[in-house]
Homo-oligomer: A and B are copies of this chain.
Amino acid sequence: MNEADLIYPPDQITLREVGLRDGLQMVSQFPSTEGKKAWIAGEYAAGIRHFELGSFLPRHKYPAFADIEDIIRFAADLAEVHGAALSPNLRGSQLAMASGVAEVNCVISATEAHNQANLRRSRQQTLDEFAAIIALRDQSEHQPLVGIGIAMSFGCSISGTVDPEDVLALAAQLLEMGADIISIADTVGYAGPAQVAHLTAQLRDLVDGRPFGVHLHDTRGMGMANAAAALGEGVRILDASLGGLGGCPAAPRASGNIVMEDLVFLCHSSGFDTGVDIEKLIEVRDILANEMPTEELYGSMAKAGLPLILPDNAESVMRIS
């Protein structure tokens, strides 16, 4: 079994907390370093093992991620935890490799226009940079995984419709270049479940047993429906954030990441074991609320609590209210 399969076991669903990166990119307040550690420790106690811990962006411009190395070290000390960090470019990837983080995440857009808007370079320039990043990985001592997310895979807020064939061709090229994990991202929440099922199935066939992820946003309320569709087509890795922390750049009042605690309920009700205790997870929302009192937290499980009995294809639990 290769490294990626050890970290993302093929027979398990991996739920990855991305609030410390994708969430904090969109908030007006950010937590203290101690607050971040309490957040990670709380989710760890609830059973979460995969975290995107932050981003290697210039510190003076992105103070929310200035403590990224400290956070990476903290997470690495927790048994079984797999930490990832986003890198926007080669310089960021050099810092990420040096930090010892277990996975370096990079991003490219499905459309030229969004790649230019987001990364200020062409898709070809981004691909060239990936080649250099993958070479860096190959030369590095600890050989982190390189995960690449394809932004706007389901439609683009600049270019509109995205052809699934373009996304799949890009995914094939990235795998060929040596990327360990490909993720398709509904960056602005355009997708419905039919579209998610279709592209997930095609990517599953393309990756041919290698791990792949689906990164969904709940901007138009389709988050759980889309997650269910992706699960139905065999996705192995789903991203979410506690309380849905983080908004949407294209729609100021709208929500962003799908809600982790609701996603766990979806998985359990669909018969997938996650190892996560929903009630313990919900308690961690208090840390976010205290650290970022002006940020809205989303989600239904925190308000409603567990059902008296879970659906009959999952284990029985006590309700909290």
Using a CB–CB cutoff of 8 Å, the interface residues on chain A facing chain B are 154-161, 188-195, 218-225, 227-229, 248, 251, 253-255, 259, 262, 265-266, 268-271, 299-301, 303-305, 307-309, 311-313, 316, 321
Q: How far is the CA of A295 from the CA of B225 in the complex (A)?
A: 26
Q: Which residue of B lies closest to A269 (CB)?
A: B192
Q: How far is the CA of A268 from the CA of B304 in the complex (A)?
A: 29
Q: How far is the CA of A321 from the CA of B189 in the complex (A)?
A: 14
Q: Is the CB of A161 within 8 A of B309?
A: yes
Which residues on B sit within 8 Å (CB–CB) of A248? 304
Number of copies: 2
Q: Is the CB of A221 within 8 A of B265?
A: yes
Give A109 Cβ to nearest chain B Cβ, in Å: 14
Would you list 16 pairs from A and B whose C-beta atoms are within 8 A, ordered by A residue?
A: A161-B309, A189-B304, A190-B308, A192-B268, A192-B269, A193-B228, A194-B313, A195-B311, A220-B265, A220-B307, A221-B259, A222-B269, A224-B224, A225-B225, A251-B303, A255-B300
Q: Is the CB of B191 within 8 A of A221?
A: no
Known A157-B308, A309-B155, A313-B194: A300·B266 in contact at CB below 8 Å: no
Q: Is the CB of A192 within 8 A of B270?
A: yes
Q: Which residue of B lies closest to A222 (CB)?
A: B224
Which residues on B sit within 8 Å (CB–CB) of A305? 251
